[in-house]
Amino acid sequence: MKVSVLGCGRWGTFLAWYAHKIGHTVTLWGRESSKNYLALHQRRTNEYLTLPQEVVLTNSLEKAVSCSELIIISISAQQLGLLTEQLRLMETRNKIFILCMKGLEATSGKRLSQVVYEVMGKDTTLAIWVGPGHVQDYYNGIPNCMVIDSDNMEITKKVVEAFSSDLIRLYYGSDLIGNEIGAAAKNVMGIAAGMLDGLHYSSLKGALMARGTKELSRLVQAMGGNGLTIYGLSHLGDYEATLFSPHSHNRKFGQVFVTGESFDKLAEGVATVQSLKYLSQQYEVDLPICNGVYAILFEHKNTKETLFNLFLRPTTFE
């Protein structure tokens, strides 16, 4: 099939590589001014992989959209609104958009599917692609499992059939709310895990995992989703890759936040925790861990004191 990938960062470039590897005809789009695009244009390589010559590289969004039926979007979650404003002016009938990105809109708390539908219209054919795995591992042949979800099971099946392989086993999702919230919120748990690493209290990650899933399942339930989805691949199933892996940007961000080292990679959990703070208030659901991370990052609360009060407070019923 013909596949276009919008976004040539770490994941976008990998998805173009992967789609080509499993037999699709692939076009990869990046902004003309993007450092990632310029590097690929000059050398067809980045710090993670080498892009096959057969993959068409373009800075024309219209060309990338017009040439394919399956269009994967893999950009910063906070840039999705601007991109969809451009996409809504193009001919997009009979195209399936797949959001392979994890986040929430920081200013509104909206799920990314909501952002797309509100700008491009509810008749847009849309799926999400979430779950564990790192580019470095996949490129080295280490397999993992991920999830495809949408509001239409036939679309979910079509995307699963198009992209599932021995390298990435794709499962059918059936809870768009739960999978979107779970995928986004795991990055906040990753930041908290990194902070514990920075404080040399990594042993508390067990408590973080147990309590993090519980508070987020309550939120998903309040939002109309299935609270059990949090215990699936989009959230709990992604904890190993996010809370423990040296490749995790969010875990690393939390660690260097404590140690004072420099870090220049995107940590989506920073914006996501703003959204979760908003959703916590909107749905009147207490999110102690998320609110604790928010207090540290945005209210300049003491990291050690905040986390100790959170995890080592007197025993209470949850």
CA distance 78 to 167: 29
CA distance 86 to 200: 46
Instruction: Choose the catalytic residue: 186, 205, 252, 277.
Output: 186
Note if 186 is an active site residue: yes
What number of residues does the chain have?
318
CA distance 97 to 265: 26
> Residue 178 is which amino acid?
G
Contact present, 274 and 258 (Cβ < 8 Å): no
Contact present, 194 and 257 (Cβ < 8 Å): yes
State the virtual CA torsion across 269, 95, 91, 115 in degrees, nearest 10.
Answer: -30
CA distance 185 to 174: 18
Residues acting as catalytic residues: 186
